[in-house]
Chain A
């Protein structure tokens, strides 16, 4: 096909200006690649602006642990360089155990984390109360993971994009990608095209529209933000049963997950729903979420709620992201499907992709995140 005047040539075309696309742009541009980022709305306008911004180590599977530990290490190198509006707070995570059975899990979790090189400290019931006086009496204890942190994702995304731009990357907003061909041709809604050596599909829940076989389903979440109550809680507080909520394969679930923001505000989460039809706030789900929060933090009732919103996570069947070549499109690589962990794992995603592009060995085994894992049995991806 002939190239037109409006066509752009580049080495790397990144579809999506969320935090994952932005991290990839910064990484590849720093390597000297000619990068173009194509975003249909504004940078960080979708899942990245809806999420909590918790940088957290999770241990649902060994691969998830490896990825989040690696990612957190990359974050700790970046955090000191971030400006005030990134709202960095290394507040740590406090996993709260409700019962003695859960307390047994706490010990196990500490050992698993230790195996991954992650410091964590078991808190007995009185230590838990001292650490977080707002928690109700009668809880069993907890696990403190001190190096987990909180950021404000939209400004960090902008910062990553600014770094990419400083290294020569081009950012185009309000241009939707309509179609991506396997040979690296990208068709935009305005009729123009981009010809790239490599296309990174970092389109979040929009990824399957461009790479149809990517097994991604939108999973809706609700969050409530309160007025400012500085020092009301000190850690991100999560119920130990949280992973159970993330694992629920169908239907909807809620879990106690509260985050103190740098501003003194509290974010109250979280819910998970498949098959939600709209992005409307559902008071029924909000009520369940808040009731759960109240079971742990009775005082939360009296705080003032300012706004409720929803967002969609890009969920995969095995809770691991899709990082690497798309089996159906040779010049398209996926950087999507990060579900509830994309803020945490975006830097690691970008690093794994860069290593692969350069033919370097990665610091962690990239195999568990390769999209082809869903075709290994020979069937279709979805």
Chain B
């Protein structure tokens, strides 16, 4: 039998995830002298936020980081999905139709976050989507010009997404912000000294949204339509309105992508992966940076990435220079968290017939009858489908306070052939490519 993992490669430092955090970590560590391999499962670097549309160029800040990574000699593998670590110091990576093992000495996890979807009646109708997903869709050419859009959820992302959609020619009629006026007012009064640049950003956003009603203290309760969306009903807790629309973009927040930390058995906190001052996780020789350590936005991701990169290279002095800035950004993130905390009313949106697990068509009634996430999974198939609970189990953490189920490989779906290992031909090709 052929060696299942014939194609091998060594790297001092492997960085998982090429979003802002991963890019900054990789560039920094390489500048400090490490041999760095950066993996991202998509064809682009920069994560969802810096992802350019077809033909467009990435933003300036992204280009700057890409150039730094490049001149520091970071080896970059796009479209490379790390899916298992077994034995623990060997990463199994799928690259298109190839698969190879990467023996790592140090690792930085920077796999980012994904969107939180909350189920309510009608949320599975076509054209009800995650705001981030919609943004990516529009970037890749999906037409929104002239369409009537309602944006619902919470946080600054709502405004960013709405502004983007308006720029693309959509009619955004309402922005439903579930946080109350008073929470927002409190937040705004602190915003000024915390992050002036963000305040400015928010203000300019507002000016693009003159024809849009911004409605704090409101949230969607049902989406209507036969085979696709034609209206949404929302409430402020007492009154209800129904608005005709073609697209409902939901953004209830992001949640850290915890499959990789789970596979490696990293200790977690309620916010994400636990890290020390130097972004070191509870696992030996593993650091973490960016959204997986707690949501904080792109500025914090960049700072954490640089700290992790320096620390992995043993350059603690340089790492420590970023501590103050990180602390400031974390305070800002904590304010955001508090202000945009999801209200309990959102826990009561699903009706017994609402499908909560879309992959397996499992209703709220079936899930509510279960004692925990594992029981729900075994008896109803909730979370067993192709997204492996990414959507429903994340929602159930909020709806039921259930913790996530035990993580098993692969960390992301891969070809069955990739589990069988590389064949010798590919292995040789791989070796000649090594630096």
B83 nearest CB neighbor, chain A only? A305
**Considering the complex, which residues of chain B in the window 381-435 have a beta carbon less than 8 Å from any beta carbon of chain A?**
381, 384-386, 388, 408-410, 413-421
B416 engages A49 (CB within 8 Å): no
B84 engages A290 (CB within 8 Å): no
Q: A290-B420, A294-B420, A305-B415 are in contact. Are A283 and B1 (CB under 8 A)?
A: no
Say yes or no: is B344 at the interface (Cβ < 8 Å to chain A): no
Say yes or no: is A14 at the interface (Cβ < 8 Å to chain B): no
Say yes or no: is A306 at the interface (Cβ < 8 Å to chain B): yes
- Report the separation of the CA atoms of residues A222 and B92 in the bound assembly, to the nearest whole angstrom: 18
A290 engages B419 (CB within 8 Å): yes
Give the chain A neighbours of B86 by CB distance below 8 A. Answer: 280-284
A284 engages B4 (CB within 8 Å): yes
B84 engages A306 (CB within 8 Å): no
- Report the separation of the CA atoms of residues A268 and B84 in the bound assembly, to the nearest whole angstrom: 18
B409 engages A281 (CB within 8 Å): yes
A224 engages B4 (CB within 8 Å): no
Say yes or no: is B238 at the interface (Cβ < 8 Å to chain A): no
Least Cβ–Cβ distance between B98 and chain A, in angstroms: 12
Give the chain A neighbours of B92 by CB distance below 8 A. Answer: 283
- Report the separation of the CA atoms of residues A282 and B5 in the bound assembly, to the nearest whole angstrom: 13
Contact with B along A279-309 (1 / 0, CB 8 A): 0111110111011011000001111111111
Give the chain A neighbours of B420 by CB distance below 8 A. Answer: 287, 290-291, 294, 301
**Considering the complex, which residues of chain B in the window 187-208 have a beta carbon less than 8 Å from any beta carbon of chain A?**
none
- Report the separation of the CA atoms of residues A28 and B131 in the bound assembly, to the nearest whole angstrom: 55
A224 engages B379 (CB within 8 Å): no
B90 nearest CB neighbor, chain A only? A283
Give the chain B neighbours of A45 by CB distance below 8 A. Answer: 374, 378
Q: A42-B378, A44-B378, A306-B388 are in contact. Are A290 and B416 (CB under 8 A)?
A: yes
B407 nearest CB neighbor, chain A only? A307
Give the chain B neighbours of A329 by CB distance below 8 A. Answer: none
Q: A281-B86, A281-B409, A308-B419 are in contact. Are A287 and B4 (CB under 8 A)?
A: yes
Give the chain A neighbours of B416 by CB distance below 8 A. Answer: 224, 226, 268, 290, 293-294, 300-305
Give the chain B neighbours of A294 by CB distance below 8 A. Answer: 416-417, 420
Give the chain B neighbours of A275 by CB distance below 8 A. Answer: none
Say yes or no: is A257 at the interface (Cβ < 8 Å to chain B): no
- Report the separation of the CA atoms of residues A102 and B1 in the bound assembly, to the nearest whole angstrom: 21
Which of A224, A306, A307, A309 lies at the interface centre, i.e. has the most chain B CB atoms within 10 A of its CB? A306
Q: A303-B415, A307-B388 are in contact. Are A291 and B371 (CB under 8 A)?
A: no
Say yes or no: is A273 at the interface (Cβ < 8 Å to chain B): no
Give the chain A neighbours of B381 by CB distance below 8 A. Answer: 85, 263
A304 engages B413 (CB within 8 Å): yes
Least Cβ–Cβ distance between B419 and chain A, in angstroms: 5
Give the chain A neighbours of B414 by CB distance below 8 A. Answer: 304-305
B413 engages A227 (CB within 8 Å): yes
User: Interface size bucket, B side?
Assistant: 20 to 34
Give the chain A neighbours of B417 by CB distance below 8 A. Answer: 290, 294, 300-302
A287 engages B378 (CB within 8 Å): no
Give the chain B neighbours of A324 by CB distance below 8 A. Answer: none
Say yes or no: is A154 at the interface (Cβ < 8 Å to chain B): yes
Give the chain B neighbours of A283 by CB distance below 8 A. Answer: 4-5, 84, 86, 92, 409, 419
A224 engages B419 (CB within 8 Å): yes
A306 engages B413 (CB within 8 Å): yes
What is the predominant secondary structure among interface residues of chain A facing chain B? Answer: mixed
Give the chain A neighbours of B421 by CB distance below 8 A. Answer: 287, 291
Least Cβ–Cβ distance between B63 and chain A, in angstroms: 34
Which of A286, A290, A300 lies at the interface centre, i.e. has the most chain B CB atoms within 10 A of its CB? A286
B371 engages A309 (CB within 8 Å): no
A280 nearest CB neighbor, chain B only? B86
Least Cβ–Cβ distance between A270 and chain B, in angstroms: 14
Least Cβ–Cβ distance between A173 and chain B, in angstroms: 8
Say yes or no: is B334 at the interface (Cβ < 8 Å to chain A): no
Give the chain B neighbours of A281 by CB distance below 8 A. Answer: 84, 86, 408-409
A308 engages B4 (CB within 8 Å): no
Say yes or no: is B2 at the interface (Cβ < 8 Å to chain A): yes
A227 engages B379 (CB within 8 Å): no
B374 engages A306 (CB within 8 Å): no
Say yes or no: is B375 at the interface (Cβ < 8 Å to chain A): yes
- Report the separation of the CA atoms of residues A42 and B413 in the bound assembly, to the nearest whole angstrom: 28
**Considering the complex, which residues of chain A in the window 224-238 have a beta carbon less than 8 Å from any beta carbon of chain B?**
224-228
A305 engages B419 (CB within 8 Å): yes
Q: A154-B378, A281-B86, A291-B4 are in contact. Are A308 and B386 (CB under 8 A)?
A: no
B418 nearest CB neighbor, chain A only? A305
Give the chain B neighbours of A305 by CB distance below 8 A. Answer: 410, 413-416, 418-419
B409 engages A302 (CB within 8 Å): no
B408 engages A309 (CB within 8 Å): yes
Least Cβ–Cβ distance between A17 and chain B, in angstroms: 12
B371 nearest CB neighbor, chain A only? A42
- Report the separation of the CA atoms of residues A45 and B360 in the bound assembly, to the nearest whole angstrom: 20
Q: A281-B86, A306-B413 are in contact. Are A286 and B419 (CB under 8 A)?
A: yes
Q: Out of B5, B385, B386, which one reaches A287, CB within 8 Å?
A: B5
- Report the separation of the CA atoms of residues A284 and B86 in the bound assembly, to the nearest whole angstrom: 8
Q: Out of A44, A287, A309, which one reaches B419, CB within 8 Å?
A: A287
Least Cβ–Cβ distance between A16 and chain B, in angstroms: 16
Give the chain B neighbours of A263 by CB distance below 8 A. Answer: 360, 381
Give the chain A neighbours of B379 by CB distance below 8 A. Answer: 44, 154-155, 158
Q: Out of B84, B371, B374, B415, which one reaches A304, CB within 8 Å?
A: B415
Give the chain A neighbours of B386 by CB distance below 8 A. Answer: 227-228, 304, 306
Contact with B along A84-120 (1 / 0, CB 8 A): 0100000000000000000000000000000000000
B378 nearest CB neighbor, chain A only? A154
B420 nearest CB neighbor, chain A only? A290
- Report the separation of the CA atoms of residues A293 and B4 in the bound assembly, to the nearest whole angstrom: 14
- Report the separation of the CA atoms of residues A155 and B366 in the bound assembly, to the nearest whole angstrom: 12
Q: A42-B375, A44-B378, A154-B378 are in contact. Are A291 and B415 (CB under 8 A)?
A: no
- Report the separation of the CA atoms of residues A227 and B417 in the bound assembly, to the nearest whole angstrom: 14
B421 nearest CB neighbor, chain A only? A287
- Report the separation of the CA atoms of residues A123 and B408 in the bound assembly, to the nearest whole angstrom: 38
Which of A44, A293, A307 lies at the interface centre, i.e. has the most chain B CB atoms within 10 A of its CB? A307
- Report the separation of the CA atoms of residues A285 and B220 in the bound assembly, to the nearest whole angstrom: 48
- Report the separation of the CA atoms of residues A167 and B92 in the bound assembly, to the nearest whole angstrom: 51
A227 nearest CB neighbor, chain B only? B386
B408 engages A308 (CB within 8 Å): yes
B86 nearest CB neighbor, chain A only? A283
Contact with A along B350-374 (1 / 0, CB 8 A): 0000000000100000000001101
| 7 closest residue pairs by CB, A with B | A287-B4, A301-B417, A290-B420, A283-B86, A154-B378, A290-B419, A304-B413
Interface residues, chain B, CB within 8 Å of chain A?
Answer: 1-2, 4-5, 84, 86, 92, 360, 371-372, 374-375, 378-381, 384-386, 388, 408-410, 413-421
- Give 26 A-B contacts (CB < 8 Å), ordered by A residue: A42-B374, A45-B374, A85-B380, A154-B378, A158-B379, A224-B416, A225-B384, A227-B413, A280-B86, A281-B84, A281-B86, A282-B86, A283-B4, A287-B5, A287-B419, A290-B416, A290-B417, A294-B416, A300-B416, A300-B417, A301-B416, A305-B413, A305-B416, A307-B410, A308-B408, A308-B419
For the complex with contacts A283-B86, A290-B419, A304-B414, 7 further pairs of A-B residues with Cβ separation under 8 Å are: A281-B84, A284-B4, A287-B421, A300-B417, A301-B420, A304-B386, A307-B408
